[in-house]
Amino acid sequence: MSQALIIIIALAVGLLAQRIALPPLVGFLVAGFAIAEVPALADVNFQPLADIGVTLLLFTIGLKLDPRTLFRGHVWGVTTLHMSATILLMAALMVIVKTSGWLFLAELDTKQLLIIGFALSFSSTVFAVKLLEDRGEAASLHGRIAIGILVMQDIIAVTYLGASSGKTPTIYALLLLLLIPARPLFNYVLKRCGHGELLILAGFGLALLGSVLFELVNLKGDLGAICIGALIANFKKSHELAKILLHFKDILLVGFFLSIGQHGIPSGDAWVLALLFTLVLLIKPLLYMALLSGFKLRIRTAWLTALTLNNYSEFGLIVMAGAVSAGSLPAEWLVIMALSLSISFIVATLISNYDSAWFSRLRPTLLKLQRDNRLPEQRPIDIGNAKVLVLGMGRVGTGAYEELCENYGGAIIGIEQKPTRAARLLKNGKNVVVGDASDRELWERICERHVELVILALSNQRETLAVIELLHKTGFDGQIAAVAHYDDEVLALQQLGVIAFNFYAEAGAGFAEHVLETLKPQNNKG
């Protein structure tokens, strides 16, 4: 009975949040606070569900992670500088408030203030990855940079938690290096799992295996889940595994968001401090943009990365919980952190819903932060004599590219946001460049403007609509064609004057056409 009631409450509040243009996870946070006030539901333990959800999340991040990203200056450099500045800023802010004589802070010493600042210096991996996936931007440049920074933060958090717990990695931690030569075994198992329930079970098993092995040698299990994912990231089955685990991960993370609310309804002082910390969210993205721009990123990319990271983190809760357990902080700080985290998610969502409009208004000012030098992936793109652009070179985009080559020959070019995929297609003789379809500055980087047709083979309707809006704003007067997955999406595209292709509905027609074309030679022989 209690389980059914919890699901109904979570569903109802999630739908309400979606209705007011907030992501459902914000509703789940509110539902958690509500459930904590119902005596019959307050003792329900969401932690096992939450733990598995976070483990799966980190495992899927690993599946998409290119370890080389972590060693780039705009990832590790920005991470360390931003965290250091945030810790000092937060500590200084609390010292100023402390001088006012507020008893809630008066008894805290410098070490305690630094611990609080450290907990507030992280950004939420769960929230950022969900936001990027919902917007179809996980593989974009700013998405990859944000995920790289988050992984670096996770590594720092795991290192801190290990050190603060008094546990040091055992000598047997060196045996974890044996996971590297074990990669062929993992690949063999995944290949034998097919495409159904065995593959799902293998995904769960590998994620939990990494977590357990790291825990056994006194390392944080979360780091193990990321490492196992990264270890098998280049396998052919990895992409399919990430997709098949997507919805399982999402439903299990509901437990994580519900568990946050179980820390209880905050007091008045907690609300004041949480709102004070929320004001700092106005400073965090400015600092991110200044640092990212300093590392040769265009200001638009820096802006999107900064907004993705403009929140507080579940790792802050874990750090705070460890400090409370060790007696380093009063228990009230756990509630303050939970409230600050919840408010930051709401603020981050509201800002991200209007990021394009805000950037347009602030662009002249923000451009002053932009440096003349560029990273290689952000330099001008020469599309030559191309008359057709195919944005998104996955299976659908590559198929469209190959078909159109018969009519347009060399006057067609593909734009793909994943560098590894672009490199592979380029090696196979296709004319492909690296670019992010949703990047409003992409068109500034394209040297020529003689395109007649743009094919949008993107995986996300929201991203597709954003690109269409961008094309219209830049004065593009050619034809636009786009892929959709549902009838209502097709209708929305057609109303914008776009040639819409229903991937699911018309795939069957394409299959039948292929069969008939194949049978023609046989019939002619007969």
| In the chain, domain spans | 67-195+263-369, 383-525
User: Which band of pLDDT confidence, cut at 50, 70 and 90, is reported for residue 288?
Assistant: very high
Q: In this predicted model, what pLDDT tens digit does every residue of 150-207 receive, in sequence order?
A: 888 877 877 777 666 666 778 888 888 999 999 999 988 888 888 788 988 998 999 9
**Which residues are within 8 A (CB) of 267 and not within 5 positions of it... i.e. 6 or more apart?**
332, 335
Whether the CB-CB separation of 255 and 49 falls below 8 Å is answered with yes
SS (H, E, C) 198-219: HHHHHHHHHHHHHHHHHHHCCC
Mean pLDDT on 424-451:
72
Rounded to the nearest integer, the mean pLDDT of the chain is: 80
- Of the CA atoms within 13 Å of residue 297, those in its CB half-sphere come to 27
**pTM, 2 dp:** 0.73
In this predicted structure, which of 99-108, 242-251, 272-281, 332-341 has the lowest mean pLDDT? 99-108
CB neighbour list of residue 518: distance below 8 Å, 6 or more residues apart? none
pLDDT band at 85 (very low <50, low <70, confident <90, very high): very high
Smallest Cα–Cα separation from 217: which of 167, 183, 179?
A: 167
Residue partners of 93: CB distance under 8 A and separation at least 6: 276, 280
Q: What is the pLDDT of residue 234?
A: 80
Report which secondary-structure segment, H or E, holds 184. Answer: helix 183-192
Task: State the pLDDT at residue 423.
Answer: 84
Where does residue 271 rank: exposed (0-12), middle (13-18), buried (19+ CB within 10 A)? middle
CATH architecture of 67-195+263-369: Up-down Bundle (1.20)
C-alpha distances in Å from residue 492, one per residue of 389, 399, 464, 474: 22, 24, 11, 20
Give the pLDDT mean for 512-524.
57
The DSSP output letter for 474 is T
Beta pairing class for 388-391 and 432-434: unpaired
Q: What is the pLDDT of residue 118?
A: 92
pLDDT category of residue 506 using cuts at 50, 70 and 90: low
Measuring CA to CA, which residue among 405, 457, 451, 413 is closest to residue 434? Answer: 413
Name the nearest CA neighbour of 5 among 178, 151, 13: 13
Long-range contacts of 359-367 (CB under 8 A, 24+ apart): 359/300, 359/303, 359/440, 363/299, 366/289, 366/299, 366/303, 367/299
Q: pLDDT tens digits, residue range 72-83?
A: 888 889 999 999
Question: CA 243, CA 479: separation in Å to the nearest integer?
Answer: 31
Q: Name which of 378, 525, 387 is nearest 453 in CA terms.
A: 387
Contact 112, 328 (CB under 8 A): yes
Let me know if 283 is exposed, middle or buried by CB neighbors in 10 A (0-12, 13-18, 19+): middle
Most confidently predicted of 328-332, 421-425, 446-450, 463-467: 421-425
Q: Which of 228-242, 369-383, 508-522 has the lowest mean pLDDT?
A: 508-522
Which residues 6+ apart lie within 8 Å of 514 measured at CB? Answer: none
What's the pLDDT score for residue 83? Answer: 94
Task: Return d(Cα 138, Cα 141) in angstroms, integer.
Answer: 8
**Tokens matching residue 68:** 């080389």
Which residues make Cβ contacts (< 8 Å) with residue 255, sequence separation at least 6? 46, 47, 48, 49, 50, 52, 53
Per-residue pLDDT band at 315 (split at 50, 70, 90): confident
Closest CA to 116 of 83, 79, 90: 90
Q: How far is CA 165 from CA 47, 115, 118, 522, in A?
A: 20, 14, 16, 72
User: Per-residue pLDDT for 449 more than 70?
Assistant: no
Whole-angstrom distance, CA of residue 409 vs CA of residue 166: 65
Say yes or no: domain 383-525 is CATH 3.40.640.10. no
98 close to 276: Cβ distance less than 8 angstroms: no
- pLDDT grade for 510, boundaries at 50, 70 and 90: low
431 or 208: which leads in pLDDT: 208
Interval 427-449 mean pLDDT = 70
Say if residues 140 and 436 touch (Cβ distance below 8 Å).
yes
- Judge whether residue 525 has pLDDT over 60: no
The confidence band for 444, taking pLDDT boundaries of 50, 70 and 90, is low
Residue 516 reports pLDDT greater than 60: no
Determine the pLDDT at residue 338. 81
Residue 213 vs residue 466, higher pLDDT: 213
Q: What is the predicted pLDDT for the residue at 209?
A: 92
Alpha carbon distance, N-terminus to C-terminus of the chain: 67
Cα–Cα dist 441/436, whole Å? 9
Q: Is the pLDDT of residue 526 over 60?
A: no
